[in-house]
């Protein structure tokens, strides 16, 4: 007899009320052992892997990656006695939906009581759910109005309205062999959304590969009445003209940070166009250098070094406005942030104490930072306490922009595309490598003069890296 | 300005520290030390295997409890991961009549006192304020307030003195008291006060400080200008610094301090240099304040690994380790099952241990509370 046990999202951090599901480590049909990692969740405090409380077979994944779930919500169903069940992946979802209430009251109990902290950080209290008082007079047989509000209805497996009419299969009926599941996981393909073309609707390797190809740049789909494709995914409105997608962790945080920054710090931006031919020559030379053979040398590296040198000449720009105390906080260090576009959205990890690094060390740190960000493994620690940021809009072929400050910082440099342009060089018009720099500053504490000097000095090193010898 | 970027630097522990007492190197070789080696000479291979078993089982208990918190079965768990040698080594040096005042991470010490570790889970499941009878194993309840129990230990030790159980020369009678606390607690006033009283009264107390490098997110370097073991000297208390990941050295150093206390020689301050390999508690995320390099450095100093290397070199059979692994697995499963079966305590239990004897005011409050509880439409908010 199969025995189904639900696993409810626990409070992993004393008084947390919700968490984001980041990544499922298992799929339906997987056999799991006790304490095998099931899922990675992200709370307000940290990334945490939840170990399985039971041994058995995963029969249902109730919440998709990306969803925000309240503590106490069932997130997965495990069959702890799969022997005698029809077939691990053939188990009818109707049977499985009658989940045992075996997950005892611990999760919901935590939800109520864990607002009080014994040791560790302070927490905010979980919303108190009150038990109704018994009526003063003998109550009639009518049941009390509402039982204590359970920890929110389970987030339904979000049904994706796909336009081609193929309703996405709920996760419990996904048919795919383990190697195909592994491939899909490696490629980041959600099997819920892959139509199976194999016998009996089994998803084949080819289906996954095709899906991966479709999702390369951005998933596109043709909507009725329109021969040009638009975005796919999310919940499509009834008239088929809009798609709604919930705002999730990184996007939400980006939005918060940008609103906070744009509407508290008055921005002013200064621009400079600069001939970086000598920087390009230096980059080419360093690429040949054996000492740099283990890392990538890019113009961004020289720009980072140039900015660091400029800040060291004008250290008052490494500062922050503390509104609460009405103080300006001057930082005696440079934690250099690099805005990185990642699969999970925009993140701005920073290189700690970048001012102490030699060029090679800085190159390695830059390489590590981008590799970590691309792999989606940037830690919260890497994103805190930045002092200045570079956004390399040049990689998109853009001349420059007016960047918005990373909150808590006083300056941000936009590094534009480098292209050959006609340029007056030694009195003659020559094709030269030219780029545009833009520096936004928090005008509450940085005046135009200071920002301009920092930008001009950055540009000067890029125009002639030998200047670094003088200032370094 | 003093640069305060201590985080990320490689911690200095081990061979370059001349003051550090070490009897077993990280590669499992015995070191001869004039004062302390004689104190562990009587430990034969079977005894060392026993210490190894202690550490493995305590670690298994600790990892299972951590997982149980992640399962939603415990509200919180403070891990002792990495501190097994400090706790087992010192704990095994104790005599039955000695008394221990632990903080909240001393699962290993509890184990050496014969405490059924499953009882520790009650408190962290929120079903009890303690979980065991302190008198049964001379092991007090966990203290969650940082450092306050250093005073309790000193007071208790002064009581032992007044009972005449110090310096009689009778090994069955002479008693010592040990207060276990961490590096963070040394910044608390209570610990300093305790040392003042312990020193001037020659109280038979041992201050056993596990310096696990981190007071939650605050590194030791930011809390003290001097190595912690030198704290005692200002109070007139001898201090010793021991490799806290060396179970033999911890045993020897504690043995010596206990003997001094029992014989009337007064208190000792022991700094066991170890590392909290896990988080402060399950609510903490150490990646926010310490580096991977630092964790990797300490992983090479794992207290269990070095004793295993030594035992293998001494000829312990592979079957011993296999059997122990199996025992540990079964132990883990037992912990898990037990935790889930802990019954829900009645809320009115809180009134039970306020006073040793019956107390009319407490009785009145209990009666009021029972009536209040009975006034709800549904019995218990939890389904």
Q: What is the pLDDT of residue A229?
A: 63
Q: What is the pLDDT of residue A303?
A: 96
Total structural domains in chain A?
A: 3
A203: DSSP letter = B
* Torsion of Cα atoms, B218 then B224 then B230 then B235, to 10°: -110
**Which of A150-154, A201-205, A301-305 has the largest mean confidence?**
A301-305
Residues B278, B225: one domain?
A: yes
Q: Does some domain include residue A134?
A: no
Q: What is the pLDDT of residue A253?
A: 77
Q: Does some domain include residue B356?
A: yes
Q: Does some domain include residue A364?
A: yes
How far does A330 lie from chain B, in Å, by closest CA?
13
Q: Does some domain include residue B193?
A: yes
The rounded distance, in Å, linking the Cα atoms of A391 and A325 is 30
Comparing CB atoms, the residue among A7, A105, A380 nearest residue B383 is A105
Q: What is the pLDDT of residue A94?
A: 37
Q: Which of A185, A212, A244 is the last residue of a domain?
A: A244
Q: Kindly state the average pLDDT of the residues B344-355.
A: 85
Q: Which of A64, A84, A113 is the last residue of a domain?
A: A113
Residues B156, B265: one domain?
A: yes
User: Are B283 and A131 a contacting pair at CB < 8 A?
Assistant: no
Is the model more confident about B288 or about B99? B99
Residues A39, A101: one domain?
A: yes
Q: Does some domain include residue B238?
A: yes
Residues B136, B234: one domain?
A: yes
How far does B338 lie from chain A, in Å, by closest CA?
13
The rounded distance, in Å, linking the Cα atoms of B80 and B280 is 9
> Which residues in chain B are contacts of A332 at CB distance < 8 A?
1, 3
Q: Does some domain include residue B287?
A: yes
User: Are A9 and B383 a contacting pair at CB < 8 A?
Assistant: no
Residues A206, A94: one domain?
A: no
> Which residues in chain A are contacts of B65 at CB distance < 8 A?
none
Per-residue pLDDT for B383 more than 50?
Answer: no
Is the entire prediction scored with pTM above 0.90? no
Residues A220, A335: one domain?
A: no
φ, ψ of residue A343 in degrees (nearest 5)? -55, -25
Residues B336, B370: one domain?
A: no
User: Are A119 and B8 a contacting pair at CB < 8 A?
Assistant: no
Comparing CB atoms, the residue among A10, A144, A353 nearest residue B70 is A10
User: Are B283 and A12 a contacting pair at CB < 8 A?
Assistant: yes
φ, ψ of residue A59 in degrees (nearest 5)? -105, -20
**Per-residue pLDDT tens for A156-181?**
333 333 333 333 434 456 788 878 88
Per-residue pLDDT for A89 more than 50?
Answer: no
> Which residues in chain A are contacts of B147 at CB distance < 8 A?
none
Is the model more confident about A169 or about B115? B115
Comparing CB atoms, the residue among B72, B282, B284 nearest residue A106 is B72
Residues A302, A365: one domain?
A: yes
Q: Which of A90, A113, A136 is the last residue of a domain?
A: A113
Residues B372, B284: one domain?
A: no
User: Are A135 and B69 a contacting pair at CB < 8 A?
Assistant: no
Residues B108, B33: one domain?
A: yes
Residues A344, A223: one domain?
A: no
Q: Does some domain include residue B10?
A: no
Residues B215, B351: one domain?
A: no
Is the model more confident about A301 or about A379? A301
Q: Does some domain include residue A160?
A: no
10 Å CB burial of residue A439 (0-12, 13-18, 19+) is buried
Q: What is the pLDDT of residue A240?
A: 66
Total structural domains in chain B?
A: 2
Cβ atoms of residues A439 and A424 within 8 Å: no
Residues B44, B133: one domain?
A: yes
Q: What is the pLDDT of residue A12?
A: 86
The rounded distance, in Å, linking the Cα atoms of B129 and B140 is 12
User: Are B216 and A7 a contacting pair at CB < 8 A?
Assistant: no
The CATH number assigned to the domain holding A373 equals: 3.30.559.10
Q: Kindly state the average pLDDT of the residues A136-160.
A: 40
User: Are A53 and B282 a contacting pair at CB < 8 A?
Assistant: no
Q: Does some domain include residue B14?
A: no
Q: Does some domain include residue B12?
A: no
> Which residues in chain B are contacts of A135 at CB distance < 8 A?
377
How far does B307 lie from chain A, in Å, by closest CA?
27
Per-residue pLDDT for A219 more than 70?
Answer: no
Residues A258, A390: one domain?
A: yes
> Which residues in chain B are contacts of A143 at CB distance < 8 A?
none
> Which residues in chain B are contacts of A114 at CB distance < 8 A?
75-76, 126
Residues A229, A265: one domain?
A: no
Question: What pLDDT band is residue A346 in, cutting at 50, 70 and 90?
Answer: confident
Q: Does some domain include residue A146?
A: no
Q: Does some domain include residue A412?
A: yes
User: Are B283 and A123 a contacting pair at CB < 8 A?
Assistant: yes
| Optimal mutation site among A39, A40, A51, A140, interface B, most CBs of chain B within 10 A | A51
> Which residues in chain B are contacts of A45 at CB distance < 8 A?
283-285
Question: What pLDDT band is residue B15 in, cutting at 50, 70 and 90?
Answer: very low
Q: Kindly state the average pLDDT of the residues A454-459.
A: 96
Q: Does some domain include residue A260?
A: yes
Q: Residue B319's domain spans which residues?
A: 20-341
> Which residues in chain A are contacts of B282 at CB distance < 8 A?
12-13
The rounded distance, in Å, linking the Cα atoms of A412 and A442 is 9
User: Are B73 and A148 a contacting pair at CB < 8 A?
Assistant: no
Q: Kindly state the average pLDDT of the residues A30-39.
A: 93
Q: What is the pLDDT of residue A246?
A: 66
Q: Does some domain include residue B4?
A: no
Residues A19, A90: one domain?
A: yes
User: Are B71 and A120 a contacting pair at CB < 8 A?
Assistant: no
Q: What is the pLDDT of residue A134?
A: 64
User: Are A108 and B280 a contacting pair at CB < 8 A?
Assistant: no
Cβ atoms of residues B233 and B203 within 8 Å: no
The mean pLDDT value of chain A amounts to: 78
Question: What pLDDT band is residue A127 in, cutting at 50, 70 and 90?
Answer: very low
Q: What is the pLDDT of residue A237?
A: 67
Residues B383, B239: one domain?
A: no
> Which residues in chain A are contacts of B1 at CB distance < 8 A?
332
Q: Kindly state the average pLDDT of the residues A45-70.
A: 89
Q: Does some domain include residue A152?
A: no
Question: What pLDDT band is residue A220 in, cutting at 50, 70 and 90?
Answer: low
Q: What is the pLDDT of residue A379?
A: 82
Residues A9, A105: one domain?
A: yes
B281: DSSP letter = S
Q: Kindly state the average pLDDT of the residues A396-422.
A: 92
Residues A342, A457: one domain?
A: yes
Pick the residue from chain A with its C-alpha nearest to B342: A106
Pick the residue from chain B with its C-alpha nearest to A36: B67
Residues A306, A408: one domain?
A: yes
Residues B250, B312: one domain?
A: yes
By C-alpha distance, which of B210, B246, B307 is closest to B85? B246
Per-residue pLDDT for A90 more than 70?
Answer: no
Q: Kindly state the average pLDDT of the residues B188-199.
A: 97
Residues of B catalogued as catalytic: 276, 280, 289
How far does A139 lie from chain B, in Å, by closest CA?
9
The rounded distance, in Å, linking the Cα atoms of A209 and A418 is 36
User: Are B287 and A135 a contacting pair at CB < 8 A?
Assistant: no
Residues B267, B362: one domain?
A: no
The CATH number assigned to the domain holding A27 equals: 2.40.50.100
Q: What is the pLDDT of residue B12?
A: 42
How far does A453 lie from chain B, in Å, by closest CA?
26
Is the model more confident about A82 or about B112? B112
CB–CB contacts below 8 A, A to B: 122
Residues B128, B219: one domain?
A: yes
Q: Among A229-238, A266-275, A458-467, B93-102, which is the least confidently predicted range?
A: A229-238
Residues of A catalogued as catalytic: 443
Q: Residue A322's domain spans which residues?
A: 251-471
Per-residue pLDDT for B7 more than 60?
Answer: no
Pick the residue from chain B with its C-alpha nearest to A151: B382
Comparing CB atoms, the residue among A47, A119, A384 nearest residue B144 is A119
Comparing CB atoms, the residue among A134, A333, A352 nearest residue B375 is A134
The rounded distance, in Å, linking the Cα atoms of A130 and A132 is 6
The CATH number assigned to the domain holding B277 equals: 3.40.50.970
Cβ atoms of residues B111 and B85 within 8 Å: no
The CATH number assigned to the domain holding A216 equals: 4.10.320.10
Residues A399, A439: one domain?
A: yes
Which position has the token pair 């495990």? A78
How far does B296 lie from chain A, in Å, by closest CA?
17
């Amino acid at each position: 007899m199969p025995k189904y046990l639900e696993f409810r999202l626990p409070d992993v951090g004393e008084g947390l009320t919700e968490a984001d599901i980041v990544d499922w480590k298992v799929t339906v049909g997987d056999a799991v052992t006790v304490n095998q990692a099931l899922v990675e969740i992200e709370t307000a405090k940290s990334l945490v892997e939840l170990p399985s409380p039971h041994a058995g077979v995963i029969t249902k994944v109730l919440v998709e990656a990306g969803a925000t779930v309240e503590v106490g919500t069932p997130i997965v169903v495990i069959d702890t006695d799969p022997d005698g069940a029809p077939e691990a992946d053939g188990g009818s979802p109707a049977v499985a939906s009658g989940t045992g209430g075996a997950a005892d009251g611990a999760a919901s109990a935590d939800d109520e009581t864990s607002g009080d902290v014994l040791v560790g950080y302070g927490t905010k209290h979980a919303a108190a759910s009150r038990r109704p008082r018994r009526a003063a007079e003998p109550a009639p047989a009518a049941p009390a109005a509402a039982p204590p509000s359970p920890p929110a209805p389970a987030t339904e497996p979000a049904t994706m309205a796909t336009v081609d009419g193929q309703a996405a299969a709920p996760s419990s009926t996904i048919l795919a062999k383990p190697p195909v599941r592994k491939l899909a996981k490696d490629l980041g393909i959600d099997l819920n959304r892959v139509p199976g073309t194999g016998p009996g609707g089994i998803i084949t390797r080819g289906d996954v590969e095709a899906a991966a190809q479709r999702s390369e740049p951005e998933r596109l789909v043709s909507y009725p009445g329109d021969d040009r494709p638009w975005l796919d995914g999310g919940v499509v409105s009834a008239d088929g003209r809009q798609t709604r997608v919930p705002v999730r962790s990184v996007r939400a945080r980006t939005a918060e940070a940008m609103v906070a920054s744009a509407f508290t710090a008055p921005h002013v931006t200064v621009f400079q166009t600069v001939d970086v031919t000598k920087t390009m020559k230096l980059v080419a030379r360093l690429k040949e250098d054996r000492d740099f053979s283990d890392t990538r040398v890019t113009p961004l590296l020289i720009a980072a070094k140039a900015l660091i040198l400029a800040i060291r000449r004008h250290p008052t720009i490494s500062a922050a406005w503390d509104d609460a105390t009405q103080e300006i906080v001057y930082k005696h260090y440079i934690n250099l942030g690099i805005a990185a576009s990642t699969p999970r959205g925009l993140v701005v990890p920073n290189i700690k104490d970048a001012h102490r690094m030699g060029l090679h060390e800085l190159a390695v740190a830059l390489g590590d930072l981008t590799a970590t960000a691309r792999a989606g493994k940037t830690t919260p620690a890497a994103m805190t306490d930045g002092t200045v940021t570079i956004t390399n809009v040049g990689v998109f072929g853009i001349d420059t922009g007016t960047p918005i400050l990373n909150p808590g910082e006083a300056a941000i440099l936009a590094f534009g595309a480098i292209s050959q342009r006609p340029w007056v060089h030694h009195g003659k018009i020559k094709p030269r490598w030219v780029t545009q720099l833009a520096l936004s500053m928090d005008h509450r504490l940085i005046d135009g003069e200071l920002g301009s000097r920092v930008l001009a000095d950055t540009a000067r090193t890029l125009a002639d890296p030998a200047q670094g010898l003088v200032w370094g | 300005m003093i640069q305060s970027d201590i985080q990320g630097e490689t911690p200095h522990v081990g061979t370059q520290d001349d003051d550090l007492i070490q009897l077993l190197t990280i590669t499992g070789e015995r070191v001869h030390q004039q004062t302390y080696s004689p104190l562990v000479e009587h430990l034969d291979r079977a005894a060392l295997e026993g210490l190894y078993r202690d550490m493995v089982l305590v670690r298994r208990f600790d990892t299972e409890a951590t997982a149980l918190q992640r399962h939603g079965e415990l509200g919180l768990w403070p891990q002792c991961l990495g501190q097994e040698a400090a706790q087992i080594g010192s704990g095994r040096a104790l005599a039955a009549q000695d008394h221990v005042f632990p903080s909240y991470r001393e699962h290993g010490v509890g184990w050496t006192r014969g405490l059924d570790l499953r009882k520790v889970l009650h408190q962290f499941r929120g079903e009890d304020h303690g979980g065991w009878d302190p008198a049964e194993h001379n092991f007090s309840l966990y203290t969650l307030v940082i450092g306050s129990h250093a005073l309790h230990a000193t007071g208790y030790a002064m009581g032992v003195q007044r009972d005449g159980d110090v310096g009689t020369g009778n090994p069955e009678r002479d008693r010592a008291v040990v207060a276990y606390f961490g590096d963070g607690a040394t910044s608390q006033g209570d610990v300093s006060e305790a040392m003042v009283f312990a020193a001037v009264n020659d109280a038979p107390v041992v201050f056993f400080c596990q310096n696990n490098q981190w007071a939650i997110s605050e590194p030791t370097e930011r809390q003290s200008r001097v190595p912690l073991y030198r704290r005692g000297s200002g109070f007139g208390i001898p201090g010793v610094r021991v490799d806290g990941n060396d179970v033999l050295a911890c045993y020897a150093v504690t043995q010596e301090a206990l003997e001094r206390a029992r014989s009337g020689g007064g208190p000792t301050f022991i700094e066991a240099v170890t590392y909290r390999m896990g988080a402060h508690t399950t609510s903490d995320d150490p990646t926010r304040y310490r580096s991977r390099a630092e964790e990797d450095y300490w992983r090479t100093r794992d207290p269990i690994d070095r004793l295993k290397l030594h035992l293998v070199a001494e000829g312990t059979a592979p079957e011993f380790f296999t059997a122990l692994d199996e025992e540990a697995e079964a132990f883990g499963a037992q912990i898990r099952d037990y935790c889930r079966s802990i019954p829900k305590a009645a809320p009115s239990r809180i009134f039970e241990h306020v006073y040793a004897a019956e107390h009319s005011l407490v009785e009145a409050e209990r009666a009021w509370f029972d009536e209040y509880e009975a006034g709800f439409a549904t019995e218990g908010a939890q389904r």
